[in-house]
Amino acid sequence: MPVTGLYFIQETTTPPAISILTDRLSKRHQPIPLGRWTFEHRLLRENPPPLPTTPSSPTSPQQSPQQPAPLQQHKFMQWLDLSYHPYMLFILADKQIVTSEREFELIVRSKMASMWTVRQTLRAVGYGYEVDDFRVRIADLTQGDQVKGVVVEIEYTPCSYIEQGEGIIRDFMAGLQPPDGRFTFAPNEGYESGREWTLLDTGRQYCEILRFR
């Protein structure tokens, strides 16, 4: 898989960031339109497990009813549906990411509804372009009627290693003098060096920037 970078612009700008970028792309390069692209992202939260109503649970010691249950770290799940991968869904549950068929959504909605609830839905609509060795996709991110920012995805097609690809993608973006934003290349723990870029790495970046918007 080619290395892919995601640049996220949170601030609203005038003119809108999407027009600034599209304008500069077409003035400084010869972009070939790839057509419309969209994505949908859902954030789900794990529902707290039911509280035992009977105090005679053998595993837990007696607690006074006033004492609140220990604050649990909620687990999150994220679904990402990219229009240019129409047959699959990226799913990040806690720290494990997989790609699966769309039917996964049906399983969770119909049979795991007591465990997981959708808390947030984000949508993005925009256009993609091919610029030499790059594929650039720009989209406005919205939650309902609210604009949440602009997402720019840059794929550098000849390269499958982050070590080489990251700098080139950053340089390309810098060449467009974009409004302030940030890249989300590596997870906190970094990447294993010499490992090939996978689709899951791309999915993980989306989940990272879209988690709380």
Partner 1 sequence: MAKPQHVTQFQNSHQELSLYSHIPASRQPPILRIISGITGMLPENSLHHHLVFKPKRPKQPGGGGAELYYVQLVSKVEEMEDEKGKENRGYELRKQKWKMTLEDIPEVTRKPVTSRSVLSSNIAEGDAIAFVESLGYTFQSAYFTRSSRLMHGNVIIKLSQILLPQPTPPSSTPAPGAVFGNPFPTSSLTTLDPAKSWILKASVRVQSNQDVESLNTGVNGLKGFKELMKGMCDLEIAERLALDTRVR
Q: Which residues bind partner 1 (CB under 8 A)?
A: 38-40, 46, 49-50, 52-54, 75, 77, 81, 83, 86-88, 91, 93-104, 106-107, 110-116, 123, 125, 198-200
State which residue, 26 or 60, has the beta carbon closest to partner 1. 60
Structure-block tokens of residue 164: 């080489």
Q: Could you tell me if 195 and 174 are in contact, meaning their C-beta atoms sit under 8 angstroms apart?
A: no
Query: What are 146-150's contacts with CB under 8 Å, separation 24+?
Result: 147/12, 148/10, 148/122, 148/213, 149/8, 149/9, 149/10, 149/11, 149/181, 149/213, 150/8, 150/9, 150/16, 150/17, 150/18, 150/21, 150/179, 150/181
Instruction: Please give the single-letter amino acid code of residue 139.
Output: A
**Cβ closer to partner 1: 88 or 131?**
88
Q: Which two tokens stand for residue 155?
A: 């794929």
Q: How far is the CB of 170 from partner 1 (least distance, A)?
A: 26
Which residue's CB is nearer to partner 1, number 25 or number 78? 78
**In the complex, minimum distance from the CB of residue 55 to partner 1, in angstroms, rounded to a whole number:** 11
Q: Output the smallest distance, CB 208 to partner 1, in A.
A: 16
Compute the radius of gyration of the chain from its Cα atoms: 21
Q: State the Cα–Cα distance between residues 187 and 207, nearest whole angstrom.
A: 11
Closer to partner 1 by Cβ: residue 46 or 130: 46
Minimum Å gap between C-beta 67 and partner 1 is: 20
Choice between 32 and 107, CB closer to partner 1: 107
* Least spacing, CB of residue 68 vs partner 1, in Å: 19
Q: Report the distance separating Cα 39 and Cα 8, nearest Å.
A: 14
